[in-house]
Structure 1
């Protein structure tokens, strides 16, 4: 895997929080913590795009009344099956 180094300037307060994460053992290094943050942002964006694709699909082709009723019936049945 090819990697590239980047530089990031952080305010002292955020740098202090970053160092606390490293000192507590949550991350091996500052770089590992920053990498994890960027990976999380990227994953959140991917999920957002998938969510929007699902919404777009339902808007293009909404469920029929029969499909809605089947979903409600399934929901009710699953609730009744619970051993409350």
Structure 2
């Protein structure tokens, strides 16, 4: 299911969307906006996971992943 919404975007953003569509890199403005928002949702979920791992630790086999995550992801912002 999908819902149509109206949003106001700055002209440079709309120009970028139109260039991507015209260049055949995306099927439509909506496809690119949806893809970008889905990517942002995944990024935020990963940041949340990283924050939990940093706070509570991991099982022995994931310690190196926690160490890498804490040093490579900005958990504050």
Whether these two folds match at TM > 0.5 is yes
What stretches of structure 1 move > 4 A for 4+ residues in a row?
Answer: none
Higher RCO, Cα 8 Å, sep 6+: 2
- Structure 2: runs of 5 or more not aligned: 65-77
Cα distance, 1:28 vs structure 2: 0.1
Mapping 1:1-80, distance limit 5 Å: 2-58=1-57
Counterpart Cα distance in 2 of 1:38 and 1:49: 17
- Structure 1: runs of 5 or more not aligned: 72-84
Across the aligned residues of Structure 1 and Structure 2, the Cα RMSD in angstroms comes to 2.2
- Aligned positions, number: 61
Normalized against structure 1, the TM-score is what? 0.64
Normalized against structure 2, the TM-score is what? 0.69
